[in-house]
Amino acid sequence: MERDIAVPSRTREILEKHGFSFKKSLGQNFLIDTNILRNIVDFANLTEGSGAIEIGPGIGALTEQLAKKAEKVVAFEIDQRLLPILNETLAPYKHVEIIHQDILEAEVRSMIEEKMQGIKDIMVVANLPYYVTTPILMKLLTENLPVRGIVVMLQKEVADRIAARPGTKDYGSLSIAIQYYSEAEVVMTVPKTVFVPKPNVDSAVIRLTLRTKPPVQLTDEKFFFEVVRASFAQRRKTIYNNLVHNLAGKEKKEQVTLALEKANIEAKRRGETLSMEEFAQLSEVLKKYL
């Protein structure tokens, strides 16, 4: 039996054979620890009939572990140089398909309709390229895809911000944006030593379980997110100051005061203390006053 792709000696042989050189600009840090990879896959709770969508298969380390559990795996890879390598390393897994495309440009929904027909349980599982973590997650969450959830490796600092609760230093507009669409949890932290080359930052794995309905009722989602962003624009400022300076404008000071009163939120609180429900209430009232 051939060793797994992620076994360090096998990874080294694959990279040497193809004369592959890492591109930092594409966030290429490959995993060389099969235990970590199996853990990541376990967090996705795949069953025999599941489908998995991967972003950035690299030389196929995670793809292979997904292929052992899922009925179908589709992976998007931007770097053309990896295609012949993947063709070779994943040859034993006929139910794996690689798409040469930037995930940010991909029509993921049409891909699912075309290539995952009849599959009822779909998870996104990836060791993300860290330079585009947030755009990738926001794209996947806002497209209302028929997937159960997302299990991904990313920078630990971003993972902490995504899963943060109100009143903590990490809580901000990213926490609210992601938690509006999903339930977020940090499930594992990962040392730098399990990658080649070693990244400069610590890593963690998060699991996002998609919500079937939003946690708060909004009449205007876009405005809600504008209110949230404005409230965190300057973290040390009060919610009142942030809303006046970054949303309403000085000429509408009075309206901000009234809206805060009506929403039962003290003007001197800071954005980081407000729950999602409070932001929802505030944006509904502000919309009427501004």
33: exposed, middle or buried (Cβ count in 10 Å: 0-12, 13-18, 19+)? middle
Least distance to ligand SAM, CB of residue 235, Å: 30
If the CB atoms of residues 133 and 231 are measured against ligand SAM, the closer one turns out to be 133
Return the residue of 43, 76, 224, 240 that touches ligand SAM, per CB under 6 A.
Answer: 76
With binding defined as CB under 6 A, does residue 122 bind ligand SAM?
Answer: no
If the CB atoms of residues 58 and 271 are measured against ligand SAM, the closer one turns out to be 58
Least distance to ligand SAM, CB of residue 72, Å: 17
With binding defined as CB under 6 A, does residue 34 bind ligand SAM?
Answer: no
Candidates 25-33, 110-118, 154-162, 255-263: pick the segment binding ligand SAM (CB under 6 A): 25-33
With binding defined as CB under 6 A, does residue 201 bind ligand SAM?
Answer: no
If the CB atoms of residues 104 and 201 are measured against ligand SAM, the closer one turns out to be 104
Within residues 82-111, the interface with ligand SAM by CB under 6 A covers 82, 102-104
With binding defined as CB under 6 A, does residue 231 bind ligand SAM?
Answer: no
With binding defined as CB under 6 A, does residue 203 bind ligand SAM?
Answer: no
Is 31 one of the annotated binding-site residues? yes
> Which contacts qualify for 20-23: CB closer than 8 Å, 24 or more apart?
20/59, 20/81, 20/82, 20/85, 22/196, 22/197, 23/79
Is 56 one of the annotated binding-site residues? yes
With binding defined as CB under 6 A, does residue 62 bind ligand SAM?
Answer: yes
With binding defined as CB under 6 A, does residue 43 bind ligand SAM?
Answer: no
Q: Do you know the residue count of the chain?
A: 290
Least distance to ligand SAM, CB of residue 125, Å: 9
With binding defined as CB under 6 A, does residue 283 bind ligand SAM?
Answer: no
Is 29 one of the annotated binding-site residues? yes
Is 77 one of the annotated binding-site residues? yes
**Terminal C-alpha separation, the chain:** 68
Instruction: Return phi, psi of residue 12, to 5°.
Output: -60, -45
Q: Which position has the token pair 């006929």?
A: 94
Candidates 54-62, 144-152, 211-219, 258-266: pick the segment binding ligand SAM (CB under 6 A): 54-62
With binding defined as CB under 6 A, does residue 206 bind ligand SAM?
Answer: no
Binding-site members for S-adenosyl-L-methionine are 29, 31, 56, 77, 102, 127
Binding-site members are 29, 31, 56, 77, 102, 127
